[in-house]
Amino acid sequence: MHPYIHKKYYLLMILVLGLTLRLILLNQSLWLDEAIGAIVAKNYSFGDILLKFPLGDNHPPLYYLILRGWSLIFGYSEVSLRMPSVIFGVSTIYFVYRVAKEFTKVNPAVPAMLLATSPLAIYYSQEARMYMLSGFLAAGGVYFFLRTFKEDSGIKDWLLFSLFYTLLIFSDYMPVFLYPVFALYPLIRKENWIWWKKFFLSNLPVLVLGILWLPIFQKQGEGGRRLLETLPDWAGVAGGASFKQMGVFWSKFSLGRISLINKYIQYGLVSLASIPILTALFGSLKKIKSSGLFWLWFALPVILGFGVSFAFPAFIYFRYIFVLPAFYLLISLGADSYPKIGRLLVALVITFNLIGWGIYLADPRQHRESWREAVAYIEENAFPTEVVIFGNPEPFAPYRWYSSGKVKALGVTDSVSASREKTERITGEALTGATGVYYFEYLKGLEDPSGIVEDSLGKIGFKEIERKDFNGVGFVIHYQRKQIYANRN
């Protein structure tokens, strides 16, 4: 850091930088999962979010409860819906700074700066989902956990650790794999019975609430199993354990959430970005006494999550945002172990962070699904006798979120896995009297890989006249009745 800037301003400057980076492109269209959350926040009561909605979802309710309370005050624009995640993202930077300052010998500005510029952290700090909430609660939980080992610790530290950890467990399910870290680390330290007594007491809220939540969790598990039986390919989407998923995990942590068309360039960038990261991580092993907890925090949840995903697919990189702070703390500790090249390693990691973030900004294909634009296109161009259809039992959530209801929209399958006989019947009945159709191919490869919906349109007498591609959404195909098309041409 600059020698003429007082240290007390370092944190403020980094937080301002982190906030600024997280506000850029915040106004993108909501994508599928974000739109689901927006609909829940707008249309469900707090009680329904707690007891009814989770029965058809696969997450705990905390984030939706927060989003509901926030949006009741600040509204439902894209920026408003994403601001809680922005706040969680910036607050995570703060806790990383505090952890480094109080429990390591590294300059705390280093891991804070790494996290502030992390393209993966920036992306999920802009997403109206629960993943950055988990990162914030994990960082805060680890901070107050470490505080309990200090001689001046008191009941406040234990209460805050209990609060952060309890909330963490109800933010998402993967952070439960952080619990073994909290149990194993004091075993390594050989803590006394007095400490363990306080630790067990601090876990009572999680135990009690977990028992109360267990029936809903079991129903969610049953729903997940049914989905996998209906859509076997869903395991790849949800994150089945595989070397490919592990490679994706490393790629995203190294360079951010970008996917280039030219894979040789992407693999080359990831390889180059990996050199300073791996060098620093190797260096952190030299300081295993001070880095041990951070290694447990980073590696153990990933290993456990990968193992569990052989039985129930859940190994997908964004569900492990809560280990990202540990990743950058380890890099900082490792870089500090190289007196001659430590600053260079940090500078290179930040450089590749900015490269990944820059690619994301410059390439619209990296941005979120353009549902807002797709819906606007249809409502501006559709005739009154035309309808919108989806290869799904109902219109997808982002279409429903952005639609004004000007054009009739409906699903034409009875299941997320299209069957030919039922789809042909539903499609024929739904399009009686319609002169034209706008068909969304969204998730076709998963729900209708055989093209049953399109075959049904052909049998009914519709002809494709135009297709328009929207980023992330895919093709929206305009069909008209063959007779009407012939008359107009």
At residue 10 the predicted structure's pLDDT band, cuts being 50, 70 and 90, is confident
State both tokens at 487. 């008359």
Contact assessment for residue 145 and residue 161, using Cβ atoms and an 8 Å cutoff: yes
| 53 secondary structure, DSSP code | G
Residue 241 has pLDDT above 90, yes or no: no
Separation of alpha carbons 437 and 452, rounded Å:
15
Q: How confident is the model at residue 11 (pLDDT cuts 50, 70, 90)?
A: very high
- 337 or 312: which leads in pLDDT: 337
Answer whether 402's CB lies under 8 Å from 422's CB. no
H-helix or E-strand spanning residue 249: helix 243-255
Report the percentage of the chain scoring pLDDT > 70: 96
What are the residues facing 390 on neighbouring strands? Answer: 411, 440
Query: Is residue 240 pLDDT above 90, yes or no?
Result: no
Whether the pLDDT of residue 184 is over 90: the answer is: yes
Q: pLDDT value at position 417?
A: 86
Residue pLDDT, tens place only, 105-158: 999 999 999 999 999 999 999 999 999 999 999 999 999 999 999 988 899 999
Beta bridge partners of 481: 462
Cα(204)–Cα(201) distance, integer angstroms:
5
Report the 3 state secondary structure along 17-29: HHHHHHHCCCCCC
User: What is the rounded distance in angstroms from the CA atom of residue 33 to the CA atom of residue 321?
Assistant: 17
Half-sphere exposure of 191 (CA within 13 A, CB side): 19
Quick check: helix, strand or coil at residue 14? helix
The arithmetic mean of pLDDT across residues 268-296, rounded, is: 95
Q: What is the pLDDT of residue 239?
A: 66
Distances (CA, A) of 185 to 58, 89, 178, 199, 292: 30, 26, 11, 12, 8
Which residues, at least 6 apart from 323, have a Cβ–Cβ distance to it below 8 Å? 138, 297, 298, 301, 302
Render pLDDT for 351-369 as a digit per residue (tens, 0 to 9). Answer: 999 999 999 999 999 999 9
Per-residue pLDDT at 161 exceeds 80: yes
Instruction: Report the pLDDT averaged over residues 30-53.
Output: 97
Which amino acid, 213? W
Residue 29: band (very low, low, confident or very high) from pLDDT cuts 50, 70, 90: very high
Under 8 Å CB-to-CB from 136, ≥6 apart: which residues? Answer: 88, 89, 91, 92, 95
Q: What pLDDT does residue 2 have?
A: 52
Q: What is the pLDDT of residue 4?
A: 45
Kindly list the distances between the CA atom of residue 424 and the CA atoms of 172, 411, 456, in Å, as whole numbers in the listed order. 39, 12, 5
Tokens 């982002």 -> residue: 398
pLDDT class of 268 with cuts at 50, 70, 90: very high
For residues 1 and 162, the model is more confident at 162
* CA 226/CA 159 separation, integer angstroms: 39
What mean pLDDT comes out for the span 56-66? 95
pLDDT level of residue 224 (50, 70, 90 thresholds): confident
β-sheet bridge partners, residue 475: 469
Q: Residue 14's closest CA among 103, 127, 96?
A: 96
CB 326 within 8 A of CB 298: yes
Contact present, 25 and 126 (Cβ < 8 Å) = yes
pLDDT above 90: residue 489 = no
- Could you give the percent of the chain with pLDDT greater than 90? 84
Query: What is the spatial distance between Cα 22 and Cα 125, in angstroms, rounded to a whole number?
Result: 6
pLDDT for res 408: 95
Residue type, 77: S
Give the count of alpha carbons within 13 A of 413, CB side only. 19
What is the distance between the alpha carbons of residues 44 and 51, in angstroms, rounded to a whole number?
11
Joined tokens for residue 438: 């706008």
End-to-end CA distance of the chain: 69
Mean pLDDT over the full length of the chain: 93
Cβ atoms of 291 and 330 within 8 Å: the answer is: yes
* 399-453 pLDDT per residue, tens: 999 999 999 999 999 988 888 999 999 999 999 989 999 999 999 988 999 999 9
